[in-house]
Amino acid sequence: MILFLDFDGVLHEDPCFDERRLFARAPELAQALEPFPEVRIVLSTSWRSKRTLAQMTQPLPPALQARVIGATPLATAPDTPAALRPYRRHAECATWLRAQGHQDTPWFALDDRPSLFAPHLEQLVLCDSNLGFVDATARRLQAALLRGRFRRSAPIGATA
């Protein structure tokens, strides 16, 4: 399974004015993923525009670092379905899935910005930007990952 991971509003609140609070919620995410060793992380954060993959993974706990297999592209492919083009992050996830041959791999996105994804996307696990990844989010993510274990992915252009 693939988990597309945003940073701001997920691993720390957004905005985060205290640098010491950056990645404060990362240990909670690592703990929530412990029962799911098959989950691999693809970074879909806006940090991609100014940092390398190594720079982005460095502040993560080792348990999360070990799961990171890449980052989504900053641009979508020309063959991105028209229905996804208005939803930038969703389209970037779809582009990565196709480029890596993972069209049939179950996937989820952990993010705080629903406007970047198609409406009613069941693969989207939303965080509250002001709080980040909290217990309620962990429960929703784990429930989604359990569902993902038992089925193939919906087509990447599907919204529900």
Would you mind telling me the total number of residues written for the chain in this entry? Answer: 160
Mean pLDDT of 24-53: 95
Q: Confidence class of residue 72 from pLDDT cuts 50, 70 and 90?
A: very high
Dist. CA 125–CA 110, nearest whole Å: 5
Q: Report residue 88 as tokens.
A: 């930038």
In the chain, where does DSSP find H-type helix? 26-33, 53-57, 62-65, 88-99, 135-149
User: Is the overall model pTM greater than 0.85, yes or no?
Assistant: yes
pLDDT at 160: 44
- Average pLDDT of the residues in 98-121: 94
The pLDDT value recorded for residue 76 is: 67
Higher pLDDT residue, 79 or 58?
58
What are the phi and psi torsion angles at 122 (to 5°)?
A: -70, -20
Residues 6 or more apart whose Cβ sits within 8 Å of residue 44: 4, 5, 6, 71, 72, 89, 92, 93, 109, 111
Q: What is the mean pLDDT of residues 74-90?
A: 77
pLDDT band at 123 (very low <50, low <70, confident <90, very high): very high
Sign for the pseudo-dihedral over CA of 136, 69, 85, 157: negative
Q: In the CATH hierarchy, which top-level class contains the domain 2-149?
A: alpha beta
What pLDDT, on a 0 to 100 scale, did the predictor assign at position 117?
94
Backbone angles phi, psi at 77, to 5 degrees: -75, 155
Peptide bond into 15 cis (omega under 30): yes
Domain spans of the chain, in order of start: 2-149
How confident is the prediction for the chain on average, in pLDDT?
90
Categorize the per-residue pLDDT at 153 as very low, low, confident or very high, splitting at 50, 70 and 90: low
